[in-house]
Structure formats: structure tokens, C-alpha cells
Structure 1
Amino acid sequence: MLSASPSEAASTSGLPLHAQANAEVHKIPQILPRERVFPIQIGGELFKLSGASISSDAPSYFSQYFLCQIKAAESKGEDPSSSIRTLYIDRDPKTFRDIALHLQGYHVKPRDGTHFVRLFADAQFYNLPKLISQLNEESIFISIGHREFQIPRDVLNDPANSPNYFSLGFALFFSQPNDLFPGLDREGLIRPPSILPPSVPNRNADTFAELLRLLRGYPVSVRDETHRQELLRDARYFHFKGIEQQLVPHSISYNPLRQVDEIVLRLENVQKSGVSISAPEDFDGAFRRPVRHVRYARPYVDSKPAELILEIGGITTKLNFSAGGARAEFFEGTKARVARLLEVVATKLNLPPTTQPLGLLMASGGASSQPATPGNTPLSEDLVRVVFEAESAITLDGEDYEGDLSSYRDDDATPAFTPDAEAPANPRKRHRTGESVDIGLPTDGQQWAVRTGLFRLRIQESKGGKSAVECAFVAVKIDAVSSERGRNKMRKFLGE
């Protein structure tokens, strides 16, 4: 419902109806005589518009054309009424019917993508500033996977998800009214070039519909990992960074025992901008050294960071047990990702990201040319320190492991064996207790292949290290195998 402002109502309520109408008419610029009718032929259809209608969205192609005729007639002393010639333009009369309605004061709303681009192109061609401005505020029409979508602009302008594919691409094209046809001279332009409605045919329409639902604030049920990867792939394609972070596998919960918020996140999903370091705290253990923990907040989504619990899977981690404690060796892409993460943590601690000499780096092509390994960072050796606690949950060869590995804390902790101790005759011999298995503590040189591990990243004092502190991976939950036979036991047949 339309309503006048209080000031307007007070100024016009006491006037007769014809006076109120005149007050409204005076809002139209005095460009052409308001009562005079001007003929415009678009294609094969003749339109007759009053000077008031043409002047309502001016200066335009029409107002300038007829104004020049009136001035030419007046300069010759002729009657302008008999000197007005019909303006002929070879354009689509069906589209112009909507433009005529706009000039007569009606709101014209695009019906689909084709209608939108035709209205916009003709509004540009006729130089109708108000219609151009109105269309700039309309929803975006775009075809995704041969299905048309109408997307409100405010949905695409969410700070967490912009700039995106639309604001940088098609929406940008329709938001520059002064340069819609770059490289073309508007003065001699007979007709504008044809414009196709925006389309992205190589994306899935159903997947985009679910992303659009997320953009509007509604939940979407992720059916399985394949479905999640489809959503993530298209979220990255359209640069919906906030939606991507919502879809990344994660778990956020409050730990009442440690009285901290915790976030479980896979190593490959950690973003540099989300990493932070907690304030120094006392380590509640045997040595009570001040420690800090790596924290994480998903960019664009989380308002506060939580303590990071890192998930590393893919059987790309090997634990090596020795008198110096437990160390983790990483392989393939996991090794590079761990190294990059430690570089980020080092910069958060105001440490250099690498320990390589500057001259060597410059001679070899810079830091990016060096192999990504934890040993090149100031927080670790090539084999990363792993700390076990009494609360660490361990599954070994598919069964619960009841051995206490908390003695493998660090170098000055007393290991559960001596390097010269004789290994048992049958290290794989197990003592079953219910559903668990106790095979004793690992011997010197024993190795475990970690199928999946959860680690808390702790910044602690380092004795004899490359810097005053080091980053230790505190085991939260480990699923490992102790031998090739154990790994074979976990294998699955194709199709299972």
C-alpha cells in the first residue's frame, strides 16, 4: 500500500483533488510539454506517449529527439504541433510495451532472464536512467544447468560469501550502466548488440538449489560423503567461502572436563586465516610447565576460536618409538600439509617460518622451492614429537589397547624401557582382557602405521631444539596397526 509522508500529507490534504494532482505532476521535470502527445513507432507498432510520460524518465533518447524538433520549429517560427515527426526505431514492440508502462508510472518487473536482458539492453539503448537504476536493484536471473534461478541481490551480498562468482562476473556486467557496451560509440549506435541471459550450463542445478538454500539461511541435510563433496566442489566454484566452511567436515563441542571449546577438523581443511594461539596456561601434568595450544576458528563462520583437534587419516602417518620418545613421520601430501601448518603456527608465535639460511634460500629460488618438511620449521624436527597421555584412546590392530603410553612424554621423561633391553621373543603375543588387548609397551624401534589419528597441537618448552619452544602432537585418539599383518587384516575386498 502506498502512503504519503506526514509532511506531504499536511501540505496537500487541504487542497482540492485537481490541485493535489497538479502537485504530483510538478514532480515530473519540465522537459517536454506535458499535455502534448508524441508518436513513437517501435517496429511495426505505433505508441503515443504524453510529454509527461516521456519526461518522467529523462533525459533520454526520446526527450532529446522531440526537444530538438520543438526547438528547431520555434527557431523557424513554425507551429511545433505540426512540426513533430514520428520517431521510428527498429526494435521489439513487445519489450517496448513494458517500457511504455514504466514511463506511464507503472512498476515493471522482469519475468525471466530473457525478459530481463531485453529490458536492460533497451533501457540502455534508450538511455532511461530510472529504469536502468531499477533494473540494477532487481534480482539476478541466471540459468544453472539449464534451470533458471531468480536470486535476490541481498542474498549474494552476504559478507561471508562475497565477492563471489556473480558479483565478480555476471552481476558486475549488469552494474555498470555507463559502459554496458564497451568499445561501441553510443552516438552512432544503430542498435545494441544482442545479449544472452547469463548461464552456467556445466554445473548441476539440484546442487546449486541446495547451495542457494544454505545462502538463504536454511539447513541442508548432507546425505553422504559423495553428496558433501558435490556441495563443496560447487561452493568453491561459485566462491561461496562461508558456505564452504559450513560444509567442511567438523565437530565443535564443549569439553567440560578441560573446560574449553574444541573443534575437530581434518588437516586438509585447515585455513591459515583461522589459526591462532591460546594464552599461556599451566600444563596439568607431572611437570607443570607453561604451555599453549593451537586454536582455530573457521573463517567467515565462527565468531570465536576453539582448541584445535587435528584429524589426520589416509594411513600417511607412521609412529616411531625409541628411547627419546614417540615421533611421527608423515608421507605424501600429509607431510607438506603438516609443514605448512607448522610454518603458520611459527608466524603466529613471531618466529621465522623456516630455519633455512636466507642466503641458501635466495640461491635456490626462495622458500617455495624448498621441500616442504616439518624439519625446515623452527617448531619441529623432520620426525614430529608425539605425546601420549593417560587419557589417550588407542585402537591397535582393531582392538582396544590398554597399555599406558604416557611415559613417552618427552626427552626427560623416563621411558618404559632401556635401549639395551632385550626385545621379547614374540612381540606380537597378546594378553586378552575382555574386549581389549594388552601387548605391553612398544619396544625400541617398533613402528605403528596410523590409519586415523586425532591430535591436539601443544606449544611447549624445547630443550636443545632449534628454538625455545616446539610443537608437540598430543594424541587424543589413535587407530593404528602394529605390523603388515595388522594392516592386511584391516583391508577390504573390492566392492565391500
Structure 2
Amino acid sequence: MSDISTPTTQRGPSPSRPRPKCTLPLEKVFSIQIGTELFRLSGASIASDAPSYFSQFFEEQIRQTGDISNVRTLYIDRDPATFKAITKHLQGYHIRPKDGTEFVQFFADAQFYSLPRLISQLFESEIFIQIGDKNFQIPRDMFSSPGDSPNFFTLGFGAFFASPSEVFPGLNRNGLLRPPAIVPPSVPNRCGDIFAQLLHLLHGYPLHIRNGTHRAELLRDCRYFHLRGLEQKLIPHHISFNPIRQRSEIVIRLEDVRRSGVHVVNHGPTPSSGWVTYSRPFVDDKVVHDLIVEIGDETTIVDLGTMHVKFLNSAKARFSSLLQIISGLVKLPSTTGHQSSSHSVKVCIERDTDLTLDGQARYSEVFDPGTEQTDSSQPATKRRRVEESSNEGGKYIVRNGHWRLQFQPNSAADSLEFTLVAVKLDAYTEQRSRNQTRAFLGS
């Protein structure tokens, strides 16, 4: 018996070796004419991003003729300027679009030529978009902060340019001779300068906000692009630590209060009594502040006879919504379902309240409405000011006010009673005081 064994001949590729993506001879030069220009690429360059339209065409030519030297020139009616950049990619250079127009040209031709590596590179590249009259290249990880994604870009640009398996969604490719024309992504109705400042903030740099109008422009575009985390950083607010109360406090406008940021802290004679606290969504991670809500625009009327408050215009709906949120957070022992939608709101003006009434400061001795000042040691001018400001049984129209919000169950323990504790008020009681603040047009 012979000691030599005959090897078994295997047909086709070895199971342990995957079929090569391109079988073109690496040293062979192939001719490709794009539009009016002739390009000559080696098999190595074509194989660098295969399988592709080029590799399949020339492999089929060699298979049919069996002669490597007798391969026809491939002609494609596309833009030679775009293909010149693509040849750099095939030769091993990194190519990068300079703007949105060049991006969609690379994108369309990478799809047309079926270049998998270039397609993947473009899908992972920056977001190219024109906003106003400015071009931007936005890194995709720019929106990694909480609340900033999904947004206008990830839902718009990303939906079209984010999945190699679903390119040109909804397009029937049967009989399609060339890819459809793609309009470069643009947002013509927004300001490029404002968006550049938003990007500056997203990079983590501080931004000097010149005035209220400037802040409103930034917030408007934050909401347009759905950058909710950045919006919370930009809304007017003030956070400080109160050393007397030993609590952190946040002052924020009523219209900027968000449902997800409202919390309650139980502190009072019953488990269902306490104060309202707040943390800005996406920003104040696990940090809760005592809420001081600012209500302005002359939408608050305090009835000094009943010490209750009335709200006007949009403040009425917003404050009612806030009370509904708080009621949903507080569990009352005697209720099994929803609490009543009508709430009693009282007002408390304390000794510590900073009160400006009819343009003049009110002192601690007269913070309780209706109290007469009889201290003869007080200067005559001060006594006269207090007497003139007496408005017992009348109303305070509050231009702007800072309020704490306290809650407790009513006597039947089936709904909550709320108390607005005044922190700082600017109010008036007569029409003349309001007229003094008017300005002539154009002045």
C-alpha cells in the first residue's frame, strides 16, 4: 500500500475563504469615460471599493472574452468633475464634501456607481446644511446632550441620509436610468447668524446675550429646531441659594414652567401640605429648587377684601394648568379619583415681602393690607405716603410679581387649597399710577 495519499480536488471557493469582492487583476489598467473625460484606473483602485458598478462591468467583460487585453472602455454619462473626486477616493485618499451641494453630488454618484465604502463614509459624515445664507457642517454627535435629540436634523436630514439599506425611500427603481436630482438640504427661512450662535452654545462655550430681544431670537430658533435641552439653558431664570431658608431657589416665568419639572416637597402640619419645587428638564439632573414663579404683564389682580387672586388672559390658563399638575402629584387620603378642577387660591403678603405700590416702597409695618400706620415716631412724609396708599377693601393690580406656591388640603380633605406667598411685588391701585408708566410713541 502506498504511503502517498491523493489530495481531493475541491471545486469553487474554499468554505474557509470568502469569495473575493473583486477578481480584477490588480496591475491591469481599465478605461472609464465619464461624460467628456477619460479616466484610467488600475484594478487595485477599483478593488478598493468593491463590489461596484465598475468591478462587475469589467469582470463580466473578462468572463465573456477570456482575454484581459481585450476589454472595452466603460462609458457613463455623468459629471466628470464629481468623478474626479471619486477617483481620489478609489486611490486611497479621504475625500470630504465642502458644502451641501457637493455632498448630494457625492451621495448620488456613490449610489449610482454602487461604491459601498464611500456610501458608508457619507452616511457617517457630518450633517451638511445651509441655514439662511450660511453653510454648516454639523458633527452628528453634536446633539448628544439630553433633550437635544431627536431634533430637526436627526428627523429630517438623518431620515434621508442615515440608512444605507433604504436610500431614496419611496422611489420605484424599476427602469430607473439614473438617480433622481437631490436638492441640497437648506432652511432658507431661518437666520444663519443665530444658528451659528446656537452651535457655539452646543460646543459648550458661553455666549453673551445682549438683551431680551436677542434671547427671544435664540429661543425661537431653539424651538424651531427642537433643541429642548438647549432651550432650557436659555430660558430666563435665576438660581441661588437662600442662606436664611437654607434652600436652593429658582426664579422662572410662569410661561416657561414645564410639567416634567414640577415637583412637590411635603412640609407642613399634614402629609399633604407643602411647597412646590422645580427642576429644569434635561438640565437640572437630580437637583430640585424651591419654585419662585414670576407672573407679569399686569395679569394678576389681588382682592384685598378676600385676599384671593384673579388672573387675566393667558396667565389664567397657565396657572390653572400648573395647579392641575400639582394636584396630580399630591395624594389626598380621602380621595379615590380625580380632584376637583376648581381650586381656591389665597394670597399672603408677609413682612418679608418686598412691595412697591404706586411707584413707592411699602414698609414692613404696612405689609398687611388695611393696617393703619399710627407710629408718631415715623417722619411726617412717610406717614402721609402710607395714608395716601391706603387701599382697604380695594385691589392691587400687579405689574410683576414673584410668588412661592404653598398647598394644603381643605377642611374636607378632598381637594387642595393653594396660597401664593408674595416674595416681591410691583403693583398699583389707581389709574394715575399706570398712566405714569406710559410713554409717547417714538419716544
User: TM-score if structure 1 supplies the norm length?
Assistant: 0.77
8 Å contact kept, 2:130–2:188: yes
Match of 1:214 in 2: 201
| Counterpart among 21, 36, 41 of residue 33 in structure 2 | 41
Aligned-pair CA distance for 1:195: 1.4
Please state whether the residue corresponding to 1:97 is helix, strand or coil.
helix
8 Å contact kept, 2:22–2:50: no
Match of 1:256 in 2: 243
| Counterpart among 426, 436, 440 of residue 489 in structure 1 | 436
Letter in 2 for 1:61: Y
8 Å contact kept, 1:431–1:439: no
Match of 1:396 in 2: 357
Instruction: Label 1:465 to 1:158 Cα distance change in 2 as closer, same or farther (>3 A).
Output: closer
- Separation (CA, whole Å) in 2 of partners of 1:224 and 1:217: 21
8 Å contact kept, 2:148–2:228: yes
Letter in 1 for 2:67: D
Instruction: Label 1:118 to 1:440 Cα distance change in 2 as closer, same or farther (>3 A).
Output: closer
8 Å contact kept, 1:28–1:52: no
- Separation (CA, whole Å) in 2 of partners of 1:62 and 1:50: 11
Aligned-pair CA distance for 1:234: 1.1
| Counterpart among 273, 292, 314 of residue 309 in structure 1 | 292
Matched positions, count: 417
Aligned-pair CA distance for 1:336: 0.6
Aligned-pair CA distance for 1:436: 6.9
Match of 1:346 in 2: 327
Match of 2:405 in 1: 457
Aligned-pair CA distance for 1:36: 2.0
- Separation (CA, whole Å) in 1 of partners of 2:58 and 2:219: 56
8 Å contact kept, 2:32–2:38: yes
Match of 2:101 in 1: 114
Match of 1:326 in 2: 307
Please state whether the residue corresponding to 1:476 is helix, strand or coil.
strand
Instruction: Label 1:184 to 1:396 Cα distance change in 2 as closer, same or farther (>3 A).
Output: closer
| Counterpart among 283, 300, 312 of residue 282 in structure 2 | 300
- Separation (CA, whole Å) in 2 of partners of 1:489 and 1:465: 46
Matches within 5 A, 1:13-412: 29-73=21-65, 78-82=66-70, 84-186=71-173, 188-278=175-265, 280-282=266-268, 291-303=273-285, 304-322=287-305, 325-350=306-331, 355=339, 376-377=341-342, 380-381=343-344, 384-402=345-363, 404=365
8 Å contact kept, 1:448–1:480: yes
Q: Deviations over 1:333-362 (max 9, x none)?
A: 111111001011111114799656xxxxxx
Match of 2:13 in 1: none
Please state whether the residue corresponding to 1:172 is helix, strand or coil.
helix
Aligned-pair CA distance for 1:266: 0.5
Aligned-pair CA distance for 1:215: 1.2
Q: Which runs of 5+ in 2 are unaligned?
A: 1-17, 374-378
8 Å contact kept, 1:389–1:405: no
- Separation (CA, whole Å) in 1 of partners of 2:207 and 2:284: 19
8 Å contact kept, 1:400–1:436: no
Aligned-pair CA distance for 1:91: 0.6
- Separation (CA, whole Å) in 1 of partners of 2:196 and 2:114: 35
Letter in 1 for 2:349: F
Aligned-pair CA distance for 1:186: 4.1
8 Å contact kept, 2:160–2:169: no
Q: Deviations over 1:91-136 (max 9, x none)?
A: 1111111111111111111122221111111001111111011112
Please state whether the residue corresponding to 1:392 is helix, strand or coil.
strand
- Separation (CA, whole Å) in 2 of partners of 1:289 and 1:70: 86
Fraction of identical pairs, as percent = 49
Aligned-pair CA distance for 1:290: 8.0
Please state whether the residue corresponding to 1:390 is helix, strand or coil.
strand
- Separation (CA, whole Å) in 1 of partners of 2:273 and 2:387: 31
- Separation (CA, whole Å) in 2 of partners of 1:354 and 1:442: 39
Please state whether the residue corresponding to 2:175 is helix, strand or coil.
coil
Instruction: Label 1:289 to 1:141 Cα distance change in 2 as closer, same or farther (>3 A).
Output: closer
Aligned-pair CA distance for 1:256: 0.7
Letter in 1 for 2:280: R
Please state whether the residue corresponding to 2:397 is helix, strand or coil.
strand
8 Å contact kept, 1:403–1:440: no
8 Å contact kept, 1:403–1:439: no
Instruction: Label 1:203 to 1:259 Cα distance change in 2 as closer, same or farther (>3 A).
Output: same
Match of 1:20 in 2: none
8 Å contact kept, 1:40–1:87: yes
Letter in 1 for 2:296: G
Instruction: Label 1:236 to 1:348 Cα distance change in 2 as closer, same or farther (>3 A).
Output: same
Aligned-pair CA distance for 1:491: 3.0
Please state whether the residue corresponding to 1:253 is helix, strand or coil.
strand
Instruction: Label 1:464 to 1:395 Cα distance change in 2 as closer, same or farther (>3 A).
Output: farther
Letter in 1 for 2:382: T
- Separation (CA, whole Å) in 1 of partners of 2:274 and 2:311: 23
- Separation (CA, whole Å) in 2 of partners of 1:151 and 1:224: 27
- Separation (CA, whole Å) in 1 of partners of 2:138 and 2:192: 14
Instruction: Label 1:257 to 1:266 Cα distance change in 2 as closer, same or farther (>3 A).
Output: same
8 Å contact kept, 1:403–1:438: no
Letter in 2 for 1:470: E
| Counterpart among 468, 475, 478 of residue 425 in structure 2 | 478
- Separation (CA, whole Å) in 1 of partners of 2:174 and 2:31: 22
Letter in 2 for 1:210: Q
Aligned-residue RMSD, C-alpha: 2.9
Match of 1:4 in 2: none
8 Å contact kept, 1:57–1:129: yes
Instruction: Label 1:485 to 1:354 Cα distance change in 2 as closer, same or farther (>3 A).
Output: farther
Letter in 2 for 1:258: R
Match of 2:11 in 1: none
Match of 1:446 in 2: 394
